[in-house]
Amino acid sequence: MVLIRGQVTTWQDGPETPSYPELKEENDRLRREITTLKAQQERRQSNTLPQTHRSSKSIDGIEYTPGELADGLWESLALESHTRGSRVSDWADIILPNVECSRKLIEFDMKWDSWVHYALEYPQFKDESDNFAGRLEAGLALDEADVSWLAVYFSVLSTALLMMEDDEAQSLPLSPGVPVEQVSQNWYEAALFCLHKAHFLRVPNVHSVQAIAVLCMAFNNRGDSELGHHMRVSAIRIAQTLRLAQDDGKRKDGYLSLEAERRLWWTLVICEWLNLTHESPVIDESDFSIPLPSVSHREVQDTLVDPVHYHIFMARTSQVIYKFRISLKYGVKSLKDAIDIVKAADEELASIIDSLPSHLQPESDAVTDAEIQALESTQPWIKWQRYDLTLVLLHLRMHINRVLQKQWLSSPEEYHWARTVSVTSAMSLIWINRSWDQPASTRKQCTSSKDNREYIEAIEAGLVLLDAVESHNLLARHAARVLRKSITGVFT
């Protein structure tokens, strides 16, 4: 509404006025075109500049960045998370599990999830959960229980149900008529509800740290990446306040065993340092001196292995990435410095892989190795640890070498090695997700090609994988959406 020649005039929408989504889509398209034109202009300019001048200019582009697609993904995810509200605002809103359901979910966590979050001590937590579920069926009211412990309990239930295979989840004795996804979401929101009821930001409690460490497995899947970042930072601060895992004689009693506290602490550090976004880490290596997790020395059968090897790998890997990012931020004075940093990080990752036990080596295969086959028959999680470690390695190598993308675009021959590592790692990620169960002897090696068709097929395969899990993973749904928008017209 405006004033024109003394009269109030109101804007009238024309018949072809674009809607807000249409305007947003057009803005996104124009932004992509501008980015493409800028890249083309930079390549033309770099090709006409003397080599010495080109090198000095190229340093300006040396920085850690997750890339435009990743930026679009996190922005898209954050926008949707703002529009959702919790359905749990009272104790009566929480769906109660029965004894059998609780037992099966806790057993699932103990077998499949506990070596990821390392937030709990088993079998103690299982005993506590079984006892609580029994009291619940006997008539215990939720508000009569330890609310901070309830945050841990519902974190475990929700995450276990989220990670469980569909067939197994459908067989659980859940509330009749309530979909599995809704039950899992309810328990996730119940965990957050209990954390707030426990005043976790005001009252430091190890249960709050444990609950958030478990939820770190689920924040992105549920589309709560922004909340997850703040919760993770809070957990780190709470752990520091509690002097968690610090064996310095300045506290009377430990909350957990010293080794359990170390593993819990490193879970938080791993999540923070391997957070591959623009966010700078909130904790520096100089802020703590807590040893890495260690392999237990308990007497076990020869056929059993300690799952903590996976955790140690992730902790050491997070150290490499932290050092890599800090070095790029403060240690680059020349292009040679950047190249040395990239190569050093890549070599450190390789050395970590070399130090892994044989059952976790990426090239190990139960089909051809009888010893590994025997281990996997009694401990099936070994295969998935090896699978995850391989994907983590490829993902990080792709990110590390991608730092030199501007250099390989302007000087393809000189920096082809960085491009090759980055591209083949990305394509291998897709291939492994599709073909992991094939014997090692029949696996095809992904190689870079000048034929765009190969890349198109890899992208299409990636979209199929994302679509397959989108019902359980909001991050995958947004990733597919961002990827489809980005490739429109690129290869046509």
Q: Is a pLDDT exceeding 90 seen at residue 278?
A: no
pLDDT band at 485 (very low <50, low <70, confident <90, very high): low
**94-98, long-range: CB < 8 A, 24+ apart:** 94/142, 94/154, 94/186, 94/187, 94/190, 94/193, 95/175, 95/178, 95/183, 95/186, 95/187, 95/190, 96/136, 96/142, 97/133, 97/136, 97/157, 97/174, 98/133, 98/137, 98/173
Q: What is the model's pLDDT at position 93?
A: 97
Range in 22-26, 114-118, 277-281 with the lowest mean pLDDT: 22-26
For 87-106, write each residue's pLDDT tens digit: 999 999 999 999 999 999 99
**pLDDT of 130 higher than 70:** yes
Structure tokens at 416: 């082809």
- Residue 20 pLDDT: 56
pLDDT tens for each residue of 41-84 = 655 554 544 443 344 344 555 665 655 555 555 565 556 655 56
Give the torsion sign (CA, 89, 95, 97, 101).
negative
State yes or no: pLDDT of 119 exceeds 90. yes
What are the phi and psi torsion angles at 208 (to 5°)? Answer: -65, -40
Q: Render pLDDT for 216-244 as a digit per residue (tens, 0 to 9).
A: 999 988 888 889 999 999 999 999 999 99
- Mean pLDDT (whole number) for 261-288: 90
User: What pLDDT digit, counting tens, does each position of 351-395 carry?
Assistant: 998 899 988 988 877 667 888 888 888 898 998 998 889 889 888
14-24: per-residue pLDDT in tens?
A: 445 566 566 66
More confident residue, 361 or 215: 215
Q: Contact 442/37 with Cβ under 8 angstroms?
A: no
Q: Please tell me the predicted confidence (pLDDT) of residue 6.
A: 45
pLDDT of the residue at 66 = 55
Q: What angle, 0 to 180 degrees and rounded to 10, lies between the N-to-C axes of helices 452-469 and 416-435?
A: 40
pLDDT confidence tier of residue 182, bands split at 50, 70 and 90 = very high
The confidence band for 85, taking pLDDT boundaries of 50, 70 and 90, is confident
Q: What is the per-residue pLDDT for 492? A: 43
Structure tokens at 487: 């490739």
Q: What percent of the chain has pLDDT over 70?
A: 68
Give the span between the Cα atoms of 158 and 189, in whole angstroms.
9
> Percent of the chain at pLDDT above 90?
45
Rounded average pLDDT over 239-258: 84
Name the most confidently modeled range: 102-106, 344-348, 373-377, 412-416.
102-106
**Residue 290's pLDDT band (cuts 50, 70, 90):** very high
* CA atoms of 264 and 284, how far apart (whole Å): 17
For residues 278 and 65, the answer to whether their CB atoms sit within 8 Å is yes
- pLDDT tens for 131-164 read 999 999 999 999 999 999 999 999 999 999 999 9
Q: pLDDT per residue over 434-449, tens digit each?
A: 665 543 333 333 333 3
Tokens linked to 484: 């489809």
pLDDT band, residue 13 (cuts 50/70/90): very low
| Residue predicted with more confidence, 28 or 321 | 321
Greater confidence (290 vs 480) lies with 290
At residue 3, the pLDDT reads: 42
Q: What are phi and psi of 7, to 5 degrees?
A: -120, 145
Asked if 442 and 429 count as a contact pair (C-beta separation under 8 A), the reply is: no
Q: Is the pLDDT confidence value at 7 over 60?
A: no
* Predicted structure pTM score: 0.77
- Does the pLDDT of residue 325 top 50, yes or no? yes
CA atoms of 253 and 233, how far apart (whole Å) = 24
For the chain, give the mean pLDDT. 80
Query: What pLDDT sits at residue 391?
Result: 86
Most confident of 31-45, 299-313, 431-445: 299-313
Contact 263, 294 (CB under 8 A): no
Q: Which two tokens stand for residue 245?
A: 């895992």
Per-residue pLDDT at 223: 82
pLDDT band at 108 (very low <50, low <70, confident <90, very high): very high
pLDDT band with cut points at 50, 70 and 90 for residue 427: confident
